[in-house]
Amino acid sequence: MDGNNKSLGDLSINFWKREFRCPCKKCKRKKVRVSELLLFKLEMLRVALGNRPIIINSGNRCPEYNANIGGYPNSAHIPNPDGEAADIKIKGVKPIDIGLAAEKIGGLRIGIARTYVHLDVRKPSPSRFWIYENNIIYSAKIENESLLKFYQIIKGK
Ligand SMILES: [Zn+2]
Ligand SMILES: [Zn+2]
């Protein structure tokens, strides 16, 4: 590692609480809670994809904000006690390529959207991969071994 690359983030080397804070007004002063395991996986993913910055589209969500944006009631974005999900993007890297790198790292549930990727560290139930396409969520069966295969099936429709 470059000697000038100091550890900076207040959550982990490259991640900051402000990136993961629920964006609603009520949560301005609330504690940001992010799973250590998720942060570790995100750091690994960053390295795997050439150390490009990972942009956090959505980290923590309070139940009210989550409901307002149409999230699942028991979304992994809602801290319980830690937030276990992040919606991410990386400039110049397609969501499916982020997803495939995340699959290699393992231990992540992966949702591929058109402009971002949902990642969380919850157990793969009911599904390990899903794809958002034209307002439909396609969930891969738990026994589905390959994200790429599943992606090709959905995109081939
Ligand atoms: Zn909130
Ligand atoms: Zn998400």
Give distance in angstroms: CA of 3 to centre of ligand 2.
Answer: 34
In this prediction, residue 1 carries a pLDDT of 47
- The answer, yes or no, to whether residue 5 has pLDDT greater than 80, is no
For the chain, give the mean pLDDT: 92
Distance 23 CA to ligand 1 centre (A): 6
| 9 CA distance to ligand 1 middle (Å) | 22
pLDDT at site 133: 87
CA of 60 to the centre of ligand 1 (A): 8
Distance 76 CA to ligand 2 centre (A): 7
Please identify every residue whose CB atom is under 5 Å from ligand 1, which is an ion.
Answer: 22, 24, 27, 62, 65
- Predicted TM-score (pTM) of the model is 0.92
Task: Label residue 76 exposed, middle or buried (CB < 10 Å: 0-12, 13-18, 19+).
Answer: buried
Q: What number is the average pLDDT over the span 47-62? A: 97
Ligand number, closest to the Cα atom of 77? 2
Contact partners, residue 83, CB within 8 Å, separation at least 6: 20, 32, 33, 34, 35, 38, 59, 60, 61, 76, 77
Q: What is the mean pLDDT of residues 88-104?
A: 97
Residue % of the chain over a pLDDT of 90: 79
Within 2-154, strands assigned E span: 55-58, 85-89, 109-112, 117-120, 129-133, 136-139
What residues pack around ion ligand 2 (CB closer than 5 A)? 85, 87, 118
- The closest ligand to the CA of 118 turns out to be 2
